[in-house]
Amino acid sequence: MCSKLLVVCALIAFVCLPLANSLTCYTCTGPADCKNPRTHTCSDATANLTSNYLRVHHQFVPELKSTSYNCLGLDYIYATNNSVVHKVYGCVHPNAQACSLYLKPEYSSWRKSKCNTCSGNNCNKSPAGKMSSSVFTIAATALAVMLSKIYA
């Protein structure tokens, strides 16, 4: 009985361990770069790097420290011809309010075409067709219940 319980606990830990890992986000800093974005695990350093990129074009970007993060997807287009002029994707501090930042006056010809923050792994690029982490949690719970019924 004890060995069966140990096997069930090990399986649950094996399934749930990846869910406890840190958030990962797509990261890129321009239209060409964002055609093949990289993924990074969020940390204070990666969130501050995204904030530094935001400071190039935005006013009043706060300096923050945090242990929680969101993914950011931000696209700007020229207001005159709707061509994509700038993109920033990466990890951000939740309190940075990245989608509410004001552009510097010299970029007044730009218009925000997309801005979203999200909290799922790699959720900041083409979210359609991606499963959220809650799907894995539900599957792990169902597996744990089935295994407990089998081995109990």
- Per-residue HEC secondary structure of the chain comes to CHHHHHHHHHHHHHHHHHHHCCCEEEEECCCCHHHCCEEEECCHHHHHHHHHHHHHHEECCCCCCCCCCEEEEEEEEECCCCCEEEEEEEEECHHHCHHHCEECHHHCCEEEEEEEEECCCCCCCCCCCCCCHHHHHHHHHHHHHHHHHHHC
Higher pLDDT, 114 or 142: 114
As a whole number, mean pLDDT of residues 96-104 equals 94
Q: What is the pLDDT of residue 33?
A: 92
As a whole number, mean pLDDT of residues 69-85 equals 92
Q: What is the pLDDT of residue 137?
A: 67
Q: What is the pLDDT of residue 116?
A: 95
Calculate the average pLDDT of the chain: 82
Among 6-10, 44-48, 77-81, the least confident range: 6-10
As a whole number, mean pLDDT of residues 36-58 equals 95
Residue 64 half-sphere exposure, CB side, CA atoms within 13 Å?
A: 20
Confidence of residue 128 (pLDDT cuts 50, 70, 90): very low
Confidence of residue 130 (pLDDT cuts 50, 70, 90): very low
Among 2-6, 78-82, 107-111, the least confident range: 2-6
Q: What is the pLDDT of residue 136?
A: 60
